[in-house]
Amino acid sequence: MTDPRHAPPFEMTGALVRRDGREVLGGIDLRVDAGDVLAVLGPNGSGKSTLVKALLGLVPLAAGRTEIYGEPPARFRGWQRIGYVPQRLPAGGGVPATVREVVASGRVARRSRWLPALLGDRAAERDAVDRALKAVDLADRARDSAHLLSGGEQRRVLIARALAGEPDVFVMDEPTAGVDTRNQAALASALHELTRGGRTVVLVAHELGPMEPLLTRTIELGQGRVVRETRAGDAHETPATGRPA
């Protein structure tokens, strides 16, 4: 058990995930320190999305353990420190939601359920949502139906939702897949702002594009294992042996 004050955002040891008897993750060791900007790369089906979901405790582990700030996910209480950006905005049963409603829902972990929002809180919340919308350049679409936006715009809405919660750690599942170059550049600049503020970022990506200069680390998965790990500034790549230190 690590001292929670010094515990890293994520620490995973020997994580094994099985789905229908098949090993999706085959014993992953991964430590993400505060301030890291880590990209998880790999081909389709290599377990990238499963890895980030396992880090958040959304996928049960068959073996091994994972901790968020020193606590197993089931016991972790500081969820307002985590901003998860899923791959897509599910349509569900088709009840519309405005861009603003979706973005404001990112503040839910910060709000007390029972105390009616004080006026000051409401103003703070409105400001946070406005800032998040501006950061992804969607302030003028706030009243539009989120599901009617293009795929790239929807991704920006999802990122704005995480931004609105003002977390310390961002976990993004393919934020750039299917996003055109102009939108990718907009994303990269939003990300740049965050990392300058010392935030931790874990992102799953197919190709890095304009985000590459921001990264401090990359790991590459292949068939549920880490096959390569690179640190920015390292000229040489370290092929991963079974358990990197």
Decide if residue 77 touches another protein (CB under 8 A).
yes
Decide if residue 58 touches another protein (CB under 8 A).
yes
| Residue owning tokens 């420190």 | 81
Contacts of 33 (CB under 8 A, 6+ apart): 8, 9, 200
61: tokens are 């582990």
Amino acid at 168: D
Decide if residue 93 touches another protein (CB under 8 A).
yes
Decide if residue 118 touches another protein (CB under 8 A).
no
Q: Tell me the window of 7-15, 110-118, 192-200, 230-238 that interacts with another protein (CB under 8 A).
A: 110-118
| Residue owning tokens 């990264």 | 215
Rg (CA), the chain: 18
Minimum gap (Å) between residue 109 Cβ and another protein = 4
226: tokens are 């880490």
- Are the CB atoms for 184 and 153 separated by under 8 Å? no
Decide if residue 182 touches another protein (CB under 8 A).
no
- Are the CB atoms for 176 and 108 separated by under 8 Å? no
Decide if residue 86 touches another protein (CB under 8 A).
yes
Decide if residue 72 touches another protein (CB under 8 A).
no
Q: How far apart are CA 86 and CA 138, in angstroms?
A: 18
Among 62, 63, 108, 118, binds another protein (CB under 8 A): 108
Cβ atoms < 10 Å from Cβ of 120: 8
Q: How far apart are CA 188 and CA 136, in angstroms?
A: 10
Among 57, 64, 70, 222, binds another protein (CB under 8 A): 57
Site string for another protein, 135-164 (x = CB under 8 A): --------xxx-xxxx--------------
Q: Tell me the window of 6-14, 20-28, 90-98, 188-196 that interacts with another protein (CB under 8 A).
A: 90-98
Decide if residue 92 touches another protein (CB under 8 A).
yes
For the chain, the first-to-last Cα distance in angstroms comes to 18
Burial class (CB in 10 A: 0-12, 13-18, 19+), 227: middle
133: tokens are 């919308």
Q: Tell me the window of 72-80, 129-137, 208-216, 234-242 that interacts with another protein (CB under 8 A).
A: 72-80
Decide if residue 61 touches another protein (CB under 8 A).
no
Minimum gap (Å) between residue 19 Cβ and another protein = 13
For binding to another protein (CB under 8 A), which residues are involved?
53, 56-58, 76-80, 82, 84, 86, 89-98, 100-102, 105-106, 108-109, 111, 113-114, 143-145, 147-150, 165, 171
